[in-house]
């Protein structure tokens, strides 16, 4: 099996997982209310774990969307954004420790100049938009030895923005499905 085929199959599997998780949460929405026992700490942990994966998408955003309909969307965004920023430190650390490997990735050549030129502002923008390449941005920040506090604060602000959008979208659209 070729690398391209394998990559496409992994992307398809990720999409199916996200759709399946979203459907499951919708179907079991009444039972999902029992997650209130875990509440925001549960959302925090889930976001941290889903963002700690490197180059493999995890369904954290779909859960934030769904939980935005069950909990206060501001609390969901803060919990998920903070957990997500902590999880994104894995990409930064990968860049620090695997510089030679990271620098061989073609996409790194596209992202690194922007990180070098704009620093934390580039991290903030890339963290705020849903994209599968943020792990490489974190790795580029690590390779370029961006101070970890600058990386973390920019990633945290970007994650809060992104998670707010998904949490409020979930909050606003949840009523559509309940009718």
Q: Could you report the per-residue pLDDT of 38-67, keeping only the tens digit for each? A: 788 888 877 877 777 665 556 678 788 888
Span 78-134, pLDDT tens digits: 999 999 999 888 888 877 776 655 666 777 788 889 999 999 999 999 999 988 778
The DSSP call for residue 144 is T
Tell me, what DSSP letter sits at residue 35?
G
Confidence band, pLDDT 50/70/90 cuts, at residue 25: very low
Report the percentage of the chain scoring pLDDT > 70: 71
* 162: Cβ contacts below 8 Å, ≥ 6 apart: 61, 81, 84, 127, 128, 129, 130
**45 touches 52 (CB < 8 A):** no
What's the angle, vertex CA 121, arms to CA 120 and CA 122, rounded to 5? 90
CA distance 33 to 1: 43
């Amino acid at each position: 099996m070729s690398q391209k085929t394998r990559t496409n199959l992994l992307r398809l599997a990720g999409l199916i997982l996200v759709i399946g998780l979203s459907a499951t949460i919708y179907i079991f929405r009444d039972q999902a209310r029992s997650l209130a026992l875990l509440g925001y700490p549960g959302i925090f942990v889930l976001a941290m774990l889903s963002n700690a994966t490197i180059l493999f998408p995890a369904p954290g955003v779909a859960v934030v969307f769904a939980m935005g309909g069950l909990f206060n969307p501001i609390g969901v965004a803060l919990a998920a954004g903070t957990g997500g920023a902590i999880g994104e430190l894995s990409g930064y650390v990968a860049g620090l420790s695997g510089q030679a490997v990271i620098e061989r990735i073609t996409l790194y050549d596209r992202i690194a100049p922007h990180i070098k030129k704009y620093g934390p502002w580039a991290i903030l923008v890339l963290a705020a938009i849903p994209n599968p390449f943020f792990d490489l941005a974190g790795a580029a920040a690590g390779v370029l030895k961006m101070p970890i506090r600058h990386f973390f604060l920019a990633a945290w602000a970007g994650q809060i923005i992104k998670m707010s959008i998904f949490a409020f979208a979930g909050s606003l659209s949840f009523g559509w499905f309940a009718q």
